[in-house]
């Protein structure tokens, strides 16, 4: 009897644990019940769609063709290099910028199996379908820096140049001075250190970790002001509301 109860409890616990670690199915843009499609999109070779936005001079007149990759909690509209450069600078230098919604963000289809390599190949496919030529620039902002790292590693022959703007790095990336990686890892707030440990060592627990309420999780995801320096706090209000035009809460 006690054995049976134990087995039932165990099954109940496993069912609960499974629910807690498994993300809910995504709402696909353009599918019944999903959000509408408003952006231009390309179809990738595996059938997924990638949404994009073009800005700057027409691409056939451009001297610099840039693929821009947004950061955390952002989308194709959040192009810091376009919003901080004046129209004159963009025109006189001949800059064309195409920004993407990373897979799973905005109107791009999710890709739960994505890897640094698949993201780089997505960008290469975008560049080819948009006919950007044999070489183009990649710029990644914040967490978009991770995608630029993948481009440098997997499609270096396609890059005219690469820039990482205030990138979020992977502390396990090789070829960085290990004392520097270690120092910056421990410069982070404790909840962020734990969030990265979970993602690195127990990736299958990531969804649970990011949604549980027992321990503090990523400060960025929690929009915690603790990560900001005084200067950030002073400048912050200038960016408040910049996403309101296109954001659906
Ligand atoms: C890491 O080690 C190198 C070489 O010993 C040294 O020049 C550098 O200052 C160190 N960096 C940090 C952040 O400790």
pLDDT confidence bin for 249, thresholds 50/70/90? low
Judge whether residue 183 has pLDDT over 60: yes
Q: Which of 133, 168, 203 is the last residue of a domain?
A: 168
Residue predicted with more confidence, 102 or 5:
102
What's the CA-to-centroid distance between 138 and ligand 1, angstroms? 29
What's the whole-number mean pLDDT along residues 178-182? Answer: 92
Residues 159 and 202 in one domain: no
pLDDT tens digit string along 35-83? Answer: 999 999 999 999 999 999 999 999 999 999 999 999 998 999 999 888 8
Instruction: Return the half-sphere exposure (C-beta side, CA atoms, 13 A cut-off) of residue 91.
Output: 3
Mean pLDDT along residues 93-104: 96
Look-up: residue for tokens 């890897």? 115
How distant is the alpha carbon of residue 192 from its chain centre? 17
Based on the fold, state whether residues 56 and 142 are members of the same structural domain. Answer: yes
Q: pLDDT band for position 164 (50/70/90)?
A: very high
User: Quick one: 155 and 224 in the same domain?
Assistant: no
Instruction: Examine the domain organization and report whether 197 and 134 are in the same domain.
Output: no
Q: Which residues line ligand 1 (CB under 6 A)?
A: 177, 179-180, 183
Domain that holds residue 135: 29-168
Percent of the chain exceeding pLDDT 90 equals 65
pTM: 0.88
pLDDT confidence of residue 208 = 94
Number of domains in the chain: 2
My answer on whether 181 and 153 are in the same domain is: no
Instruction: Give the Å distance between the CA of 181 and the centre of ligand 1.
Output: 10
Note whether residue 5 is domain-resident: no
Q: Are residues 154 and 228 in the same domain?
A: no
Q: Among 138, 168, 198, identify where a domain stops.
A: 168
Q: Residue range 202-209: average pLDDT?
A: 93
Q: How many whole angstroms from 218 Cα to the centroid of ligand 1?
A: 28
Give the pLDDT score at 236.
79
161 plus 178 within the same structural domain: no
Of the residues 168, 190, 211, the one at which a domain ends = 168
**What is the per-residue pLDDT for 33?**
86
* Residue 177 Cα: closest atom of ligand 1: 1
- pLDDT of 76: 95
How confident is the model over 157-178, as a mean pLDDT?
A: 91
CA–chain centroid gap for 115, Å, is 12
Q: What is the mean pLDDT of the chain?
A: 91
Nearest residue to 76 (alpha-carbon basis) of 100, 55, 110, 54: 100
Residue 233: per-residue pLDDT? 86
Q: Let me know whether 159 and 181 are in one domain.
A: no
- Same domain as 209, residue 109: no
């Amino acid at each position: 009897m006690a054995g049976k109860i134990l087995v039932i409890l165990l099954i109940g616990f496993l069912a609960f644990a499974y629910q807690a670690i498994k993300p809910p199915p995504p709402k696909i843009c353009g599918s019944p019940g999903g959000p509408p499609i408003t952006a231009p999109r390309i179809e990738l070779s595996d059938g997924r769609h990638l949404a994009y936005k073009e800005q700057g001079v027409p691409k056939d007149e451009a001297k610099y063709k840039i693929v821009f990759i947004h950061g955390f909690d952002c989308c194709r509209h959040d192009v810091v290099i376009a919003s901080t450069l004046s129209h004159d600078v963009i025109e006189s230098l001949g800059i064309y910028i195409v920004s993407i919604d990373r897979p799973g963000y905005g109107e791009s289809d999710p890709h739960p199996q994505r890897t640094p390599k698949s993201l780089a190949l997505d960008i290469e496919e975008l560049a080819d379908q948009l006919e950007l030529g044999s070489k183009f620039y990649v710029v990644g902002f914040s967490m978009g820096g991770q995608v630029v790292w993948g481009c440098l590693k997997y499609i270096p022959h396609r890059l005219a140049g690469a820039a990482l703007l205030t990138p979020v790095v992977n502390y396990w990336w090789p070829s960085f001075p290990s004392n520097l990686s270690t120092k910056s890892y421990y410069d982070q707030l404790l909840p962020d250190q734990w969030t990265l440990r979970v993602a690195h060592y127990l990736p299958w627990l990531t969804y649970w970790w990011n949604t549980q309420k027992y321990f503090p999780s990523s400060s960025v995801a929690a929009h915690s002001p603790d990560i900001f320096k005084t200067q950030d706090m002073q400048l912050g209000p200038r960016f408040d509301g910049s996403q309101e035009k296109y954001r659906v809460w």
